[in-house]
Amino acid sequence: MPVQLPTLASIRKRRLALGMTQQQFAQVCRLSQSMIAKIENSRTDPSYSTAIKIFETLERLEAQEINRIPRLITAKDIMTKKLISAAPTDLLFKAALVMLENNISQMPVLSREAATDIVVGGLTERLLLTAWNGDSNFKGKKVSDIMSEPFPIIGQDTTISTIRNILTDEPAVLVSDSASKRIVGIITKQDLIKVTARVRGFAA
């Protein structure tokens, strides 16, 4: 399975999900506020050491927030019910447009040939960027050419601690209805951060 790496474009989204201003985040990172602003606005490319410092700080802060989530919360409480997906035969550039339009970083790949959709893979912004980089045939490629293994599937009553452990190594998990066996939702790290923000009063 291809390695999932963070992108610079995700920094602002993750910072906001943590309920932090640029100044607050810069202080924790021990960087200047102007440096964070330039990176988030794509006005400068950080050095390798600076990028590592930023992403390690984000991971640490996110882990702290996730650990504060009440353990009684389950998958059905935090999943995103609007499931946006791609088909293996979809063209990559069209799938990329769907992700941009919906402001998402990953989506499942479903085969719609059967009566019930079957999960056959996963698509992430990192996979798209890797496929696009320097490839003149990008527009002719299909989702099936680069998709990863399917995201893990869990039940609606799966506990928050289990979800947290899975998302340590996976970009997302899918939520299945035990009766119909249909995929009814998706959970990402950002969903965990959002529920923490609600619990702590950072967001509505």
67-88 pLDDT per residue, tens: 666 667 899 999 999 999 999 9
Locate 64 and state its tokens: 């702290």
CA 67 and chain centroid, separation: 18
Looking at the predicted structure, is the pLDDT value of residue 167 above 60?
Answer: yes
Q: Which CATH superfamily is domain 9-67 in?
A: lambda repressor-like DNA-binding domains (1.10.260.40)
Return the domain boundaries, the chain.
9-67, 75-200
Q: Which amino acid is at 194?
A: K
Backbone dihedral angles phi then psi of residue 156, each to the nearest 5 degrees? -65, -20
Strand pairing category for 172-176 and 153-155:
parallel
Distance in angstroms (rounded) separating the CA atoms of residues 140 and 136: 9
The residues, any chain, with a CB within 8 Å of residue 71's CB and separated by 6 or more, are 159, 160, 161
Q: How many CA atoms lie within 13 A of 153 on its CB side?
A: 17
DSSP 138: G
Residue indicated by tokens 């996976």: 170
**Could you say which architecture CATH assigns to the domain 75-200?**
Roll (3.10)
Tell me which residue of 125, 61, 187, 24 sits closest to 195, measured CA to CA: 187
Of residues 80 and 115, more confidence is placed in 80
Q: What is the pLDDT of residue 2?
A: 40
Q: Which amino acid is at 24?
A: Q
Q: What is the mean pLDDT of residues 7-33?
A: 90
Residue indicated by tokens 């980089």: 133
Q: What is the mean pLDDT of residues 152-171?
A: 91
Distance in angstroms (rounded) separating the CA atoms of residues 50 and 126: 20
